[in-house]
Amino acid sequence: MNQMKDNNKNLILGIETSCDETAAAVVANGMMILSNVIASQINLHAEYGGVVPEIASREHVKSILPVIDRALSDADISLDDLTAIAVTYGPGLVGALLVGVSAAKGLAAATGLPLIPVNHLEGHIASSYLADPSLEPPFLCLIVSGGHSSLVEVLDYTCYRTLARTRDDAPGEAFDKIARSIGLGYPGGPLIERASEGGNSDAFYLPVTHFSDSYDFSFSGVKTAAINAYRKIEREAAQEGRDWPLSCSQADFAATFQASIVEALVKHTEAALIDTGYKTLVLGGGVSANKKLREVMREMTDSIGVRLIVPLPVYCTDNAAMIASAGYFAWKDGRRAALDLNAVPMAELEEIIGQSTREGETR
Ligand code: KG4
Ligand code: ZN
């Protein structure tokens, strides 16, 4: 089927295996999703309360080829119809990344198609082009996930400057840790979100960390404070002979914890928006699926006259459509990887590998 090519559409196959989702997708011109296949391993890791890297790699090996086949068949195309193959090369778990990178290299070698290396975070940024095709850089993006909390200036489609990052834990990591500590399971974010419904978000004190000289985030303090508060609550509950004491239900605990994470994210983002003057804010990453965060961020952006773009929840968490979208802009920019492309577990947004035709861009 060559209809899309006949219409001058450039079809990119995106491949994503940086953590616990094996994903492949086909996207036309960076904005139109033709297929989006995600094989989640959440149930396998839930038993251990978090992602087990060895299990993740083995599952990616099992799923990668069927997932790619399915992405092509759902899009009703063959490999011949593709323009390029984009793959996440980092950051992420090295053994997990290598599965996607190896599959992409194999396909590129077999077909002669260009291989486009994509940074996972630029994928999370690109998910907003899928949400709103009218979006154009420059804008500010808050990426909040299991591994990251970054405020990024998106200067152009492939040019980024990180304004702030977390100095310790990522917010998703804090959600996951607290959910595990109070026996909710994994992944913590959606479980805390559900548990918080109807709860009092001011049930006890939790610190919100700010730095006077930067917009950086820190979530280890609130994580420890929440665990200490939970131990106190457990003691009270034992004295009262209940699961949770009358003074603080599970809903109150979850709502209070969630509110403190949301407050830190919203306050720092507001300060950065006011200081930099950006008129568009974009959210990305698994934690941006959180309803409370979306609601409070919307109130804040409305109050200061900033346009907010938030992807649908399925495009906030890891997926390959966002990698195909970012891959399209990188392809247009001339970025290419050779067949010796390797996984880079600590890859930085400002040091994306591959050659570019752009002048003056950091490589
Ligand atoms: O972006 P993502 O899928 O993977 C990484 O790149 O890390 O993010 C996963 C993280 C997990 O920590 C998960 O608990 C969190 O996103 N998350 C949420 C929600 N959905 C996923 N956190 C808060 N609220 C949610 N609804
Ligand atoms: Zn992610």
The closest-lying atom of ligand 1 relative to the alpha carbon of residue 285 is: 1
Pocket of ligand 1 contains residue 284 by CB under 6 Å? no
Q: How confident is the model at residue 356, as a pLDDT?
A: 59
Give yes or no for residue 81 CB within 6 A of ligand 1: no
Q: Is 22 in the pocket of ligand 1 (CB under 6 A)?
A: no
Q: Let me know if the fold of 3-136+315-352 is the same as that of 139-311.
A: yes
Average pLDDT, integer, range 245-267: 97
Kindly give the pairing relationship between strand 11-16 and strand 139-144: unpaired
Best mutation site among 144, 145, 177, 310 for ligand 1 pocket (most ligand atoms within 8 Å of CB): 145
**The pLDDT of residue 6 is above 70:** no
CA distance 169 to 166: 6
332 contacts 145 by C-beta, under 8 angstroms: no
Our mutation pick for probing the ligand 1 site, out of 93, 122, 175, counting the most ligand atoms within 8 A of Cβ, is: 175
DSSP 350: G
Provide the mean pLDDT of the chain.
94
Atom of ligand 1 nearest to the CA of 291: 26
Q: Tell me the chain's radius of gyration from C-alpha atoms.
A: 21
Whether residue 284 contacts residue 316, with contact meaning beta carbons closer than 8 Å, is answered with yes
The pLDDT of residue 4 is: 45
Q: Are 188 and 179 in contact (CB under 8 A)?
A: yes
Mean per-residue pLDDT, 59-82: 98
pLDDT, tens digit (0-9, with 9 covering 90-100), for 146-166: 999 999 999 999 999 999 999
Q: What is the pLDDT of residues 273-294, one digit of tens each?
A: 999 999 999 999 999 999 999 9
Domain ranges of the chain: 3-136+315-352, 139-311
Looking at CATH, the fold of the domain delimited by 139-311 is given as Nucleotidyltransferase; domain 5 (3.30.420)
The residue length of the chain stands at: 363
Verify whether ligand 1 is closer than 6 Å to residue 125 (CB atom): no
Beta bridge partners of 182: none
pLDDT in tens, 305-361: 999 999 999 999 999 999 999 999 999 999 999 999 999 999 999 988 875 554 444
**Structure confidence at residue 7 (pLDDT):** 58
Ligand 1 lined by 286 (C-beta under 6 Å): yes
The two three-digit tokens of residue 20, written as one number: 């616990």
CATH for the 3-136+315-352 domain, from 3.40.190.10, 3.30.420.40, 2.40.50.1070, 1.10.520.10? 3.30.420.40
Query: For 15-26, how does the pLDDT look when each residue is reduced to its tens digit (9 = 90+)?
Result: 999 999 999 999
Task: Please work out whether the CB of residue 318 comes within 6 Å of at least one atom of ligand 1.
Answer: yes
Q: What strand order describes the sheet that includes 307-309?
A: 159-164, 149-156, 139-144, 280-284, 307-309
Answer yes or no: is the C-beta of 175 below 6 A from any ligand 1 atom: yes
What is the distance between the alpha carbons of residues 290 and 192, in angstroms, rounded to a whole number? 10
CA quadruple 234, 240, 242, 244: dihedral sign: negative
